[in-house]
Structure 1
Amino acid sequence: MTPGTARVLGGPPAAAALLTEAGRRAGRLPRPPHLALVRVGEDPASVSYVRGKAQKAAEVGLSSHVHALPEATTQAELLALVETLNADPAVNGILVQLPLPAHLNPEPVLLALDPAKDVDGLHPANTGALWNNHAGLRPCTPAGIMALLAHHGVTVAGQRTVVVGRSALVGRPVAGLLLNADATVTVAHRATPDLGAVTREADLLIVAAGQVHLITPDMVRPGAVVVDVGIHRVPTESGKGRLTGDVHPDVAQVAAALTPVPGGVGPMTVAQLLMNTVIAAERQHARAPHPEVSGEHVR
């Protein structure tokens, strides 16, 4: 690709395509896939996020239920709810909204999830499946990045790819997905010496470091494709602030293609969550005994 003013790799059209596909596949199942959304407390951001996920699920033909627990919920009570949802055959996907209140430890809660219903894709069983390139539910943002690249026709196989960031949520799993797609992958992070020397090697640069404008134009190979996963609110004179990413906007003058912030990777996460719910429902339906197989009679 040639450098210049970068082509915009917009998230909304890619997310719309993914949601359309999720709705189409959901419609082929005997009943709408069901997503259980677990929220503890009344944190405004969590309330908004969960409400948005439920609304988007309804738009594509999925059912959902928000299990809104009080702030004082104990660890044992939360784990009991997870076990109930695990055992409920009507529930296809479970999402526990993070962060939890400070007195709750999220790790045992996430470990308690049935991996087949873990639509966030963060259970160690799903992590292991990813790194062994076996079937499993993939983390939503990394899988959403792959769907965004595919939608915009960006080649991954054979590309020299650098991932900046090594978090369990994005950096590590997206590196695994890129390897599974036949990219050559380097993972860089805050301890990487001369980061720019590493990022300039990339045909495809994915930045999920959580640092405002970490990547500047001199750190990008001319003609590279750049995916900015970061999102930050920085102050403005108006006092309202504005959203920006881990990548400096001037990178658009060097890169051939760039995801915007906002409007890039963000919309893909919820779309992939709902696709994961459909995938989970498809697999659970395929494993379920059917009357003609089990010998039971339909009445």
Structure 2
Amino acid sequence: MTDPSAPQMTAPVSHPEQDGRGQDGRGQIIDGKAFARNLTATIAREVEIFHDRHGITPGLAVVLVGNDPASEVYVRNKALQTHRTGMLSFMHMLPESTSQAQLLNLIDRLNRDPEIHGILVQLPLPKHIDATLVTNAIDPRKDVDGLGEVNAGRLSLGLEGIVPCTPLGCLLLLRHELGSLRGLDALVIGASNLVGKPMAQLLLNEGCTVSIAHIDTRDTPALARRADILVVATGHRGLVRGDWIKPGATVIDVGITRIPTEGGKTRLVGDVAFDEARHVAARITPVPGGVGPMTIACLLRNTLTAARLCAGD
């Protein structure tokens, strides 16, 4: 099962209020793109070693139901990155009219296919398909998204398991920037099953004191001002303002929203008001170029982990 501690990038143990800010008084930008590039290169080397040892090439199957252009681009990028690490990629592009029974039959075939070590069903699914049922139909050993009940349960119990890609990427960035997280106060804003809940559990397992804020939380800014670590995953652009942030905190912005700009173009923004926050935080992820690249890198890492499970490593 996935151990979030490996592979790790070397980093000194530091206190979030003692360093991190530049000479201009602004917080350092956490370069998720560079970290993901290094992590992917490490995975490619490990894939080669794994193949030499076992004669097995890890294989990832990605299933997309429907014709959403953004999802199609995202899925094809996953396939490209999979090939670059020396793994096999299997794409299943299904029409919107695909029935739940047809999708479950495909998953059953992938579960039994020895060439497939990881299965990812791209979310969201069409409304006529039960996403929870589909997710739990994936063999837990091949559940590289880490969203099935078995892997979610193992995470909640502090046991080794396949961890959801985005929270795992956030954790690796935090470890790289801060070293040990033990004893730090952390706030996760957003309580989704995809990011918020597993992120909180990972931080708890690291020894943090963890709070979760959601739509019914009465005074989220007050909670945020106490947090050494602030992870924001709500989908509401610019929700977190600079005066919400504790001076010297580390801010991980998971949110991503595309907004129009002058000239008919668009740009991506996060859940945190970046310019305001950078004047207060010691470290902060940008959007884009922060958490996003880590998600795909961790998907590849989880696929290698799944292949190792199959080989008995």
Same fold? TM cut 0.5:
yes
- Secondary structure of 2:49's aligned partner: coil
Whole-angstrom distance in 2 between the partners of 1:145 and 1:79? 31
Q: Which residue identity lines up with residue 14 of structure 1 in the other structure?
A: F
What displacement does 1:140 show?
Answer: 0.5
- Secondary structure of 1:95's aligned partner: strand
Over the residues paired in the alignment, what is the CA RMSD in angstroms? 1.4
Whole-angstrom distance in 2 between the partners of 1:217 and 1:168? 27
**Does the 8 A contact of 1:34 with 1:90 survive in 2?**
yes
What displacement does 1:284 show?
Answer: 1.0
- Secondary structure of 2:298's aligned partner: helix
1:73-88 matches, cutoff 5 A: 73-88=98-113
Structure 1 counterpart of 2:6: none
Q: 1:200-256: CA deviations, max 9, x gaps? A: 000111111221111111111111111111111223222212211111121100111
Match of 2:194 among 161, 169, 174: 169
- Which is further off, 220-229 or 230-239? 230-239
Q: Which residue identity lines up with residue 131 of structure 1 in the other structure?
A: S
Is 1:66 aligned to residue 91 of structure 2? Answer: yes
Whole-angstrom distance in 1 between the partners of 2:273 and 2:100? 42
The structure having more radius of gyration, on CA atoms, is 1
Structure 2 counterpart of 1:284: 310
Whole-angstrom distance in 2 between the partners of 1:128 and 1:235? 40
- Secondary structure of 1:202's aligned partner: coil
TM-score by length of 1: 0.92
- Secondary structure of 1:137's aligned partner: coil
Match of 1:113 among 133, 138, 143: 138
* Runs (5+) with no aligned partner, structure 1: 288-299
- Secondary structure of 1:16's aligned partner: helix
Match of 1:263 among 289, 295, 298: 289
Whole-angstrom distance in 2 between the partners of 1:152 and 1:15? 14
1:188-267 matches, cutoff 5 A: 188-249=213-274, 250-267=276-293
Match of 1:91 among 116, 119, 133: 116
What displacement does 1:105 show?
Answer: 2.3
Structure 1 counterpart of 2:7: none
Structure 2 counterpart of 1:136: 161
Structure 1 counterpart of 2:73: 48
Structure 2 counterpart of 1:274: 300
Whole-angstrom distance in 1 between the partners of 2:70 and 2:260? 19
**Does the 8 A contact of 1:15 with 1:148 survive in 2?**
no
- Which is further off, 25-34 or 6-15? 25-34
What displacement does 1:40 show?
Answer: 1.9
Whole-angstrom distance in 1 between the partners of 2:79 and 2:115? 17
Whole-angstrom distance in 1 between the partners of 2:142 and 2:65? 19
Whole-angstrom distance in 1 between the partners of 2:142 and 2:71? 21
What displacement does 1:259 show?
Answer: 0.4
Whole-angstrom distance in 1 between the partners of 2:72 and 2:131? 18
Whole-angstrom distance in 1 between the partners of 2:111 and 2:27? 45
What displacement does 1:142 show?
Answer: 0.1
**Does the 8 A contact of 1:157 with 1:182 survive in 2?**
yes
Q: Which residue identity lines up with residue 282 of structure 2 in the other structure?
A: A
Is 1:8 aligned to residue 29 of structure 2? Answer: yes
| CA 1:154–1:220: 2 relative to 1, 3 Å | farther
**Does the 8 A contact of 1:121 with 1:139 survive in 2?**
yes
Whole-angstrom distance in 2 between the partners of 1:198 and 1:112? 38
What displacement does 1:77 show?
Answer: 0.9
* Runs (5+) with no aligned partner, structure 2: 1-16
- Secondary structure of 2:172's aligned partner: helix
TM-score by length of 2: 0.88
Report the identity percentage. Answer: 48
Whole-angstrom distance in 1 between the partners of 2:298 and 2:80? 15
What displacement does 1:97 show?
Answer: 1.2
Query: How many aligned residue pairs are there?
Result: 287
What displacement does 1:28 show?
Answer: 2.0
